[in-house]
Amino acid sequence: MLGLVGAAGCAPEPSRPHVVLVTADALRADHLSVNGYPRHTSPNIDAFAGESWNFAQATSVIPKTGPSFATLFTGRHPREHGVRANFAALPAEIPTLAERLRTLGYRTAAFVSNPVLRESMGFARGFEVYELSPQRDGVRNVNRSFFRWGREPWDEPTFAWLHYIDPHGPYAPPREFEAIFIDDQWARSDERVVLDATPPARGTPNKLLGAVPLYQQREGEDRLSVYVARYDAEIRFVDAAFGEVLAFLRERDLYDDSLVIFTSDHGESLGEHDLYFEHGWFAYEPSLSVPLMIKLPKQRAGGVVPDLASHLDLLPSLLALLDAPVDAGAPGTDLFEPPGGRPPLVIENSDRYPEKYLGARTLRWKYLRRVSDGSEELYDLREDPGEIRSLERSEPERLAGMRESFEEALRTLSRSAVAPATPAPSDDAETLNRLEALGYVQ
């Protein structure tokens, strides 16, 4: 381990530290105040960023919860593990992070609140304790379950995962958090959003362009600024819960010796490219860009890391930090080694949408291809972070180079693909109701 660890004066000790992974659902990186957002959405996350490594160019490779966590926990791309929609189960032949840590002597526990992550989908593999909290009051239930379990002695190396459903829609933060933003200067815009629109032929009222998804609608509200204020309030709600977790670890003298990670599974589109309050349809930055902050054991101060990072990198980085074997040929890299000439990241949107998009992402450039007709887009993310001006005509040489790199990276991933992911087993009525409330089924 070089570079970051040495710069922070952080030795990788103990060799088997506790690992605490906290994840939020649908949290886009640019709505955290630590990343320059004007609203004060994230005071606890901001403070944590000050003593951890903040990977400011972190991305998911696919903007849906199930596929994203399949990638994060296996270190394998959706082109390899085959989970490209929420209703496919994780292949049994690919070991998960929790299973790997169990073999290293870790006790493992997970506390989650998104029904997409139910045990039948394979995400519970390797966890001795796996609690799926009710959707109602999910953030608080996750913390209560974790605190109850966490009061037991941590005499063995421990891996704990907490996943908060917020800020995933429907945006319904507690009133005390909504009140922080609902009347501020950014909430006074009168821009309106369509509530009643016809979904595409293969779509539903929860998956459509140019209008508010049905499951997001509340009291006939059609002001864009109100939805964004509620989304930001959800972030503040998650931030408060994360602050409670950090306080709990400190009170029990666990924080200093723990490796603590904060990230999200994917982002959220808030109207960009005509997609409102949803994710999965496209592979643009609002739905892919995620926060990623890692505090090493004994770390006192950190900094911003400007290099490209992704969920593919988390598993190999953790295994390297624990001096455990890392898969040869896996597409991720160790974030704590000096950056090398990594190939472009292959990105894609989720299956089950009217169009399929695949592409490649470097630190500066993004290439996208619509599968149905082969049409291409090219963006300079440094000059055009909003992906407004596609340069496929004005930059033909760059386009050709990105196309070639994308196709080579795709071929490499296809060589290690497993059998297609198995469909999810049938769900009971209660689970279906919870999935419907989140816009997953209609």
| Interior angle at CA 277, CA 271 and CA 282, nearest 5 | 70
Whole-number pLDDT of residue 328: 84
Q: What gap in Å lies between CA 92 and CA 378, rounded to an integer? A: 37
Whole-number pLDDT of residue 12: 42
Whole-number pLDDT of residue 14: 47
With respect to CATH, is domain 4-343 assigned 3.30.70.1450? no
Question: Is the CA virtual torsion 407, 410, 415, 418 positive or negative?
Answer: negative
Q: What gap in Å lies between CA 293 and CA 130, rounded to an integer? A: 24
Cβ contact 119:113 at 8 Å: no
Quick count: other Cβ atoms within 10 Å of Cβ 397? 7
Q: What gap in Å lies between CA 339 and CA 334, rounded to an integer? A: 9
Which single residue is written with the structure tokens 């001795």? 128
State both tokens at 241.
């819960």
Domain positions in the chain: 4-343
- Mean pLDDT, contiguous 10-residue spans, the chain (442 residues): 42 73 98 97 98 97 97 97 92 95 97 92 96 82 97 96 96 96 92 88 84 94 97 98 98 97 98 97 98 96 95 96 90 89 92 95 98 98 98 98 97 85 62 63 55
Cα pseudo-dihedral 243, 291, 151, 322, rounded to 10: -140
pTM of the shown model: 0.93
